[in-house]
Structure 1
């Protein structure tokens, strides 16, 4: 059994190096260290080695088994590489930064079951932290489910960073209301939102284009 030193700096260094040396035993020992930064580093080391599994992530993803938001956020981030990790619980985390990262990871999965989709819609519409709303809108765009479209369109009237993200998230949708929302963004007061909308509209096939003559 590997016992890491109590000194945080030394323990973190050992765990980080273990990730580069394929030393899974030392990396796993870091998961039980009392310091949050060592545990977060251990998760990253195991991911680097390629032996981080869903069970390990789940243990460090929820407040009932992992008290540190820092570690839970890192677990949510690393879950992006594991499609079998269910992140719905992380979308209810009391720490908004964990929720934000969980949204990002779901977007990386490009898939969401119905309860997760419903929670993303709620977060994109109602969360008090704009970074969470932005991340939820991005995830809805990546998932591409039409049920998320009204939330994305509503986000085009949010703060500038959220409006920009909403514009990008409209790209997968070919519904008329998505195109209308992009056209409204052409007059947005934020130049980046305007530019995104213009680029996306230019990339859309024109319904008015004349047919090729025989």
Structure 2
């Protein structure tokens, strides 16, 4: 076993114990370990600290900003998850993160919290039509549907021609809109080769 492997295993074992103690302390209202954990050298500990503090309304703005620029994607993912309920966490940089999992979670956060400011719709639209990762495109088009902003409609329509998983989300994302373009897309989806896409379209047509 190499020295690097031993170091990684040691870091993981240490992190498991620290996180266990942190979570146990948080259950009885003690968040001091979570606050200290923000500065840990272990990214898993830092990520857990973000999660614990955010769920209990104790994550301050400075900690959010620092964590959103953390070198480890585990930590940035925790910030993206926290952004669902902490509206002061800016999503712009997280939506453009080099790590696809951070982008995916940030898209869901944007949709959940109804974020329509600071160019969010534009970035979600760009992800929807151009991101190389299908899960990111799927999350982005779902967010556009949840937000229901007309500026995102053209990207949703483009996504109705994507792979099946994205097409399903795109069809569902058409729900807030009602015009000739959306009706045309729904009618086309009724004959889609994927049964779940057809089902999604049928459900929307019935609702109309």
Question: Shared topology, TM-score over 0.5?
Answer: yes
User: Can you list the C-alpha shifts for 1:165-197, whole angstroms capped at 9, x where unaligned?
Assistant: 001111111122112211110001110110011
- Is the Cα–Cα contact under 8 Å of residues 31 and 38 in structure 1 kept in the other structure? yes
Aligned partner of 2:4 in structure 1 is none
1 or 2, which has the higher helix percentage? 2
How far apart in 1 are the matches of 2:172 and 2:136? 16
Report the more deviating stretch, 184-193 or 52-61. Answer: 52-61
Q: Match for 1:11 among 18, 43, 46?
A: 18
Q: Does the CA-based 8 Å contact 1:77-1:102 persist in structure 2?
A: yes
Shift of 1:158: 0.4
Q: In structure 2, what is the equivalent of residue 36 of structure 1?
A: 43
> How far apart are the structure 1 equivalents of 2:199 and 2:108?
23
Do the aligned residues in 1 keep the contact of 2:19 with 2:48 (CA within 8 Å)? yes
Q: Offset at 1:77?
A: 1.0
Cα distance in 1 between the residues matched to 2:61 and 2:106: 14
Inter-partner Cα distance in structure 1 for 2:25 and 2:186: 48
Unaligned runs of at least 5 residues, structure 2: 1-12
Contact 1:167 1:196 in 2 (8 A): yes
Contact persistence 2:25–2:33 (CA under 8 A): yes
1:145 aligns with 2:142: no
Return the match for 1:175 from 160, 171, 179: 179
1:20 partnered with 2:27:
yes
Deviation at 1:114, TM superposition (A): 4.9
Aligned residues: 196
Q: Is 1:192–2:181 an aligned residue pair?
A: no
TM-score, structure 1 as length reference: 0.87
Structure 1: tracts of 5 or more residues without a match: 1-5, 205-214
Query: Cα–Cα, structure 1 residues 55 and 179, in superposed 2: closer, same or farther, change >3 Å?
Result: farther
Answering whether residue 59 of structure 2 is matched by residue 61 of structure 1, we say no
Q: Deviations over 1:18-72 (max 9, x none)?
A: 321221222111111111111111111112322123432222112xxx1110110
Secondary structure of the equivalent of 1:50? coil
Give me the whole-angstrom Cα distance separating, in 1, the residues matched to 2:146 and 2:94: 18
- CA contact 2:168–2:200 (8 Å) conserved in 1: yes
SS in 2 for 1:125: helix
Q: 1:186 to 1:105 in 2, by over 3 A?
A: same
1:116 matched to 2:120? The reply is yes
Distance in structure 2 (CA, Å) of the matches to 1:114 and 1:26:
34
- Asked whether the 8 Å contact 2:55–2:82 carries over to 1, the reply is no
